[in-house]
Homo-oligomer: A and B are copies of this chain.
Amino acid sequence: MSVLVVGSVAFDALETPFGKVDRTLGGAATYFAVAASYFVPVRLVGVVGDDFTATDGAIFKGRRIDTQGLERVPGKTFFWAGRYSEDMNQRITLATELNVFADFNPRLPPAYRDSKFIFLANIHPSLQESVVKQVNGRPKVVALDTMNYWIERTPKELRKTLKLVDILVINDAEARQLSGKHNLLQAAQVIFRMGPKTLVIKRGEVGAVLMRGKEVFTVPGFPLHDVRDPTGAGDCFAGGFMGALARAGRVTDSNLRAAMVYGSVMGSFAVERFGLDRLRKLRAREVHVRARSFYKLTRFRL
């Protein structure tokens, strides 16, 4: 079972207390695709400019990532520059140049239209909706990420799209903003009524929470000695989560729990090095070993 992802492919300029890079491949769909490809084949939909070289695209090669949906148009690729605070819990955006991403209108190649596991990364909710509409038949899982920008500026469009969504994957601040509730259990109840019956709340280094009906499952963040660059952690979490769920093939409580662990695993690898550096060299064996270490991290007997 493959996963379809739609979202940004970008060049990032990153600055953290541990270093600086001027131009590295990034974007939510990129991180997601690389992370998910450890579990299942990935179908990528995005747009890049003519400054996107074969070297840039090398990350997708040999990884079960289908890039026929990665459109290439005249102009420059989406560019984002950001700087993280000393403790890396805050970041400021130094530049956002949408470039070719400004006119992004995702189109699914015919070969993608039978997709059953779909991840709508953080883009305009109407574009997210259009992607779902292009899929033939009933997908097994439509999952969506969004952000404060869309929650504030396109609430109507977002509400419309959320009706089509099974799993909402956002961070705690976004869950609170979208629901108007500070308490996360109360926030989940409000969000369930908007459409998604499953809510995944990403909490950065602390881990993530899954809520579904009355069920709650928590997964910790993997304890790391060195965190170099938080960029892409949330997207890698989503990639690991959706990849593992698609590999399992069915949405069950047990599969969702395992997917949460794999999400946390992939998010933890992402932050160990700059940009995609850790993921470039990551081996399937390492994913397996780290996932199993979550048993030790959480197991107890009363």
Asked if A297 CB lies within 8 Å of chain B CBs, one says yes
A213 to chain B, nearest CB (A): 13
Which B-chain residue is minimally distant from A188 (CB atoms)? B223
A21 within 8 A of B: no
**Would you give the 0/1 interface string for A55-73, flagging 1 where the beta carbon is closer than 8 Å to chain B?**
0000000000000000000
Of A119-127, A147-155, A230-238, A254-262, the stretch lying at the interface with chain B is: A254-262
Q: A184-B223, A227-B183 are in contact. Are A217 and B260 (CB under 8 A)?
A: no
Bound-state CA distance A279–B218 (Å) is 25
Q: Are A183 and B225 in contact (CB-based, < 8 A)? A: yes
Interface residues on A, range: 35 or more
Q: Which residues of B contact A226 (CB under 8 A)?
A: 183
Question: A193 in the interface, Cβ–Cβ < 8 Å?
Answer: no
Contacting A300 at CB < 8 Å: which of B207, B227, B257? B257
* Docked-complex contact B291 and A302, CB < 8 angstroms: yes
Tell me whether A6 is interfacial, beta carbon within 8 Å. no
- Of B203, B209, B224, B294, which contacts A223 at CB under 8 A? B209
- Name A302's contact: one of B216, B223, B261 (CB within 8 Å): B261
**Which residue numbers of A lie inside 8 Å of B, CB to CB?**
86-88, 182-186, 203, 206-207, 209, 215-220, 223-227, 254, 257-258, 260-262, 291-292, 294-302
